Amino acid sequence: MRAHSSRRSGDGEIVVCDKDAEFYCSELGNAYAQLRFRPLVPPVAEEQDFGRCEALVSFGNSLPDRLFQRAPRLRWVQMLGAGTDRIMSLPGLPPSLWVSSASGIHGPMLAEMVVYLMLALARRGKTLFQNQAQGVWKREEGMLLCGKNVLVAGTGASGMHIRRLCEALGMCVVAASGAPRPVEHAEACIAMQEIDGHLADVDFLVLATPYSDRTRGLIGPASFSAMKRSAYLVNVSRGGIVDEGALVEALDRERIAGAALDVFQQEPLPREHALWRHPRVLATPHVAGLVREYPMLVLPLLKHNVGCFARGDASGLRNLVKLGEPC
Ligand X SMILES: NC(=O)c1ccc[n+]([C@@H]2O[C@H](COP(=O)([O-])OP(=O)(O)OC[C@H]3O[C@@H](n4cnc5c(N)ncnc54)[C@H](O)[C@@H]3O)[C@@H](O)[C@H]2O)c1
Ligand Y SMILES: O=C(O)[C@H](O)CO
Residue ranges that bind ligand X, judged by CB under 6 A: 81-84, 103-104, 106, 110, 154-159, 208, 210-211, 236-238, 262-263, 286, 288-289, 321, 325, 327
Residue 286 among the catalytic residues:
yes
Q: Which does 27 bind (CB under 5 to 8 A by kind): ligand X, ligand Y, none?
A: none
Contact pick of 64, 81, 159, 239 for ligand Y (by CB under 6 A): 81
Contact pick of 35, 289, 298, 308 for ligand Y (by CB under 6 A): 289
Q: Which does 78 bind (CB under 5 to 8 A by kind): ligand Y, ligand X, none?
A: none
Q: Which does 155 bind (CB under 5 to 8 A by kind): ligand X, ligand Y, none?
A: ligand X
Q: Does 156 bind ligand Y (CB under 6 A)?
A: no
Omega before 64 cis (within 30°)? Answer: no
Compose the 221-260 pattern: x for residues touching ligand Y by CB under 6 A, - for all others: ----------------------------------------
- Which of 140, 254, 267, 293 is an active site residue? 267
Nearest residue to ligand X on Cβ basis? 156
Q: Give the interface size with ligand Y as a residue count (CB under 6 A).
A: 6
Contact pick of 82, 157, 165, 308 for ligand Y (by CB under 6 A): 82
Cβ at position 311, least distance to ligand Y in Å = 26
Of the pair 81, 107, the CB lying nearest ligand Y is at: 81
Q: Which does 239 bind (CB under 5 to 8 A by kind): ligand X, ligand Y, none?
A: none
- Which of 52, 161, 238, 255 is an active site residue? 238
Q: Where does this chain bind ligand Y (CB under 6 A)?
A: 59, 81-83, 106, 289
